[in-house]
């Protein structure tokens, strides 16, 4: 059910406004600074980003203050740490990049926060905790750190805890390594709060959060002969409520839903979601553009959304033969597939996300554009993450791409789109209309403004 603040904005309900932009302004972008994943935690109070340099930056929302009336709580840096380092696999002569592929928050279990971060091979569990007390008083040293004469110790001192400036610590708690031969593309925490899955190109493993030395292989699509390989796993996710259900998508544009209750090995799926191909639109690129780059369950657990190169599809878990909704993200690129193939853009992995009430969805495009679709009104909007309108609370103007015919004022022609500026990673606050959009090395945060 759509709340009063659902929807994609741009209509008469509300408008998206600029809130913040993080990251350097320089035109010259360091490779390591490119953001590779964005994720809100379960309450939305924290926002984590990972980058190609293996770093994780966590932003915390400031408490809303009464005296700054229009301030809606900005996100400020809370903790920054190096999650992964570049490594070298000596046995295979392979470099292992430090790039963070995915971050997933764990449900909060005490005052500290926990997240999983993964690069191509290794998953780490991080604890982010606060410390505001410090012990004081030594027996063998005085206040200035000078050693006391050991023979002058007449009484024993027990250290006393004194308040100190807040310190945020990030510490690695577990390292889940050596279980993936191929590159990890997804991690997903199970609703039983004790397991999570990790997927690479050919296999999906199930881990216990407290056990690092073994995991269970639940899906293995590696053929005995690698020459017979026809599809790879592109994404996987656990159902938000049913701890036994997970889905994985493939490069052939299909999604398999598996039930872990049925068998220990989930090589046989329970449901198979596939839309029959329209033979009239078949082309050389059909298979490439139908490859699914992301799959996400709705918060309700009733639907799932898949992103392929040109569209977003919403599937009802109870209907396998076709999606219930299909949204075109940038249909105007269909005529450009040839050049997109040549510059490798056709293999870009766009992600997608739901808003908190599942009434709207968001996904990225090129030229720093991102798209939102209102599932109820079927309205859609194209917005741009740009420094040009980065004044506080400046409204975001809807953008339009001109598709043939005469270009109207304010429209952009397809040919002038910048394909180097792509928005692959976006996140929507789980409860409010606050979105985080990663544009290369910059993180934009937008909020709604109710008219």
Instruction: Identify which of residues 128 and 423 has a Cβ nearer to another protein in the complex.
Output: 128
Instruction: Identify which of residues 155 and 280 has a Cβ nearer to another protein in the complex.
Output: 155
147 belongs to the binding site for another protein (CB under 8 A)? no
Three-state DSSP state, 200:
coil
268 belongs to the binding site for another protein (CB under 8 A)? no
264 belongs to the binding site for another protein (CB under 8 A)? yes
- What secondary structure, in 3-state letters, does 401-427 show? EECCCCCCCCEEEHHHCCCCCECCEEE
111 belongs to the binding site for another protein (CB under 8 A)? yes
DSSP secondary structure string for all residues of 245-257: EEEEEETTS-EEE
DSSP secondary structure string for all residues of 8-57: -SSSSSEEEEEEEEES---SS--GGGSEEEEEE-TTSSEEEEEETTSEEE
Stretch that binds another protein, among 158-166, 217-225, 284-292, 337-345 (CB under 8 A): 158-166
Cα-trace Rg, the chain: 24
Applying CB under 8 A, among 14, 18, 75, 114 the residue interacting with another protein is 114
Assigned token pair, 175: 């390292």
Q: 312: closest CA among 350, 358, 259, 257?
A: 350
Three-state DSSP state, 316:
strand
Applying CB under 8 A, among 3, 11, 86, 107 the residue interacting with another protein is 107
H helix or E strand, kind and range, residue 79 = strand 75-82
Question: Is residue 125 within 8 Å of 103, Cβ to Cβ?
Answer: no
Question: Is residue 38 within 8 Å of 436, Cβ to Cβ?
Answer: yes
Applying CB under 8 A, among 11, 86, 159, 172 the residue interacting with another protein is 159
Using CB under 8 A, which residues numbered 119 to 138 contact another protein? 127, 129, 131, 133, 135, 138
Using CB under 8 A, which residues numbered 180 to 219 contact another protein? 191-194, 210
151 belongs to the binding site for another protein (CB under 8 A)? yes
155 belongs to the binding site for another protein (CB under 8 A)? yes
Least Å distance, CB 353 to another protein, is: 24
261 belongs to the binding site for another protein (CB under 8 A)? yes
Instruction: Identify which of residues 112 and 288 has a Cβ nearer to another protein in the complex.
Output: 112
109 belongs to the binding site for another protein (CB under 8 A)? yes
263 belongs to the binding site for another protein (CB under 8 A)? yes
145 Rama sector, left if φ>0, alpha if ψ -120 to 50, beta otherwise:
left
Chain residues in the site for another protein (CB under 8 A): 107-112, 114, 127, 129, 131, 133, 135, 138-141, 149-161, 191-194, 210, 241-244, 260-264
């Amino acid at each position: 059910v759509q709340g009063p603040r659902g929807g994609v904005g741009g209509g008469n309900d509300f408008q998206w406004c600029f809130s913040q932009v993080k990251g350097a302004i320089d035109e010259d972008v360091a490779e390591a600074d490119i953001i590779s994943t964005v994720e809100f935690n379960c309450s939305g109070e924290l926002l984590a980003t990972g980058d190609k340099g293996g770093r994780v930056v966590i932003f915390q929302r400031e408490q809303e203050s009464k005296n700054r009336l229009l301030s809606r709580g900005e996100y400020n840096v809370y903790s920054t740490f190096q999650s992964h380092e570049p490594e070298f696999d000596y046995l295979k002569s392979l470099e292992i990049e430090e790039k963070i592929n995915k971050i997933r928050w764990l449900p909060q279990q005490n005052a500290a926060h926990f997240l999983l971060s993964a690069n191509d091979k290794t998953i780490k569990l991080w604890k982010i905790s606060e410390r505001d007390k410090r012990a004081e008083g030594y027996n063998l040293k005085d206040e200035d750190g000078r050693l006391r004469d050991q023979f002058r110790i007449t009484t024993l001192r027990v250290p006393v805890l004194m308040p100190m400036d807040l310190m945020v610590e990030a510490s690695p708690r577990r390292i889940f390594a050596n279980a993936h031969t191929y590159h990890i593309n997804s991690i997903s925490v199970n609703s039983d709060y004790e397991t999570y899955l990790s997927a690479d190109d050919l296999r999906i493993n199930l881990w216990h959060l407290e056990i690092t030395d073994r995991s269970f292989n639940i899906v293995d699509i590696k053929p005995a002969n690698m020459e017979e390989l026809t599809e790879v796993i592109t994404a996987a996710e656990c159902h938000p409520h049913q701890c036994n259900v997970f889905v994985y998508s493939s490069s052939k544009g299909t999604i398999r839903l598996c039930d872990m209750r049925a068998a220990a090995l989930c090589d046989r799926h329970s449901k198979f979601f596939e839309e029959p191909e329209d033979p009239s639109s078949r082309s050389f690129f059909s298979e490439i553009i139908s490859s699914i780059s992301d799959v996400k369950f709705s918060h309700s657990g009733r639907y799932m959304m898949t992103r392929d190169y040109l569209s977003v599809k919403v599937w009802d878990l109870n209907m396998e033969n076709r999606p219930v909704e299909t949204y075109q993200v940038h249909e105007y690129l269909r005529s450009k597939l040839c050049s997109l193939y040549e510059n490798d853009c056709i293999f870009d992995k766009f992600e997608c996300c739901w808003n908190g009430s599942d009434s709207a969805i968001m996904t990225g495009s090129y030229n720093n554009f991102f798209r939102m679709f209102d599932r109820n009104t079927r309205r859609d909007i194209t917005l741009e993450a740009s420094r040009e309108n980065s004044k506080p609370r400046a409204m975001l103007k809807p953008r339009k791409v001109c598709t043939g015919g005469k270009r109207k004022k304010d429209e952009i022609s397809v040919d002038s789109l910048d394909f180097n500026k792509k928005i692959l990673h976006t996140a929507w606050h789980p409860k409010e209309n606050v979105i985080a959009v990663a544009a290369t090395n910059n993180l934009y945060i937008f909020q709604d403004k109710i008219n």
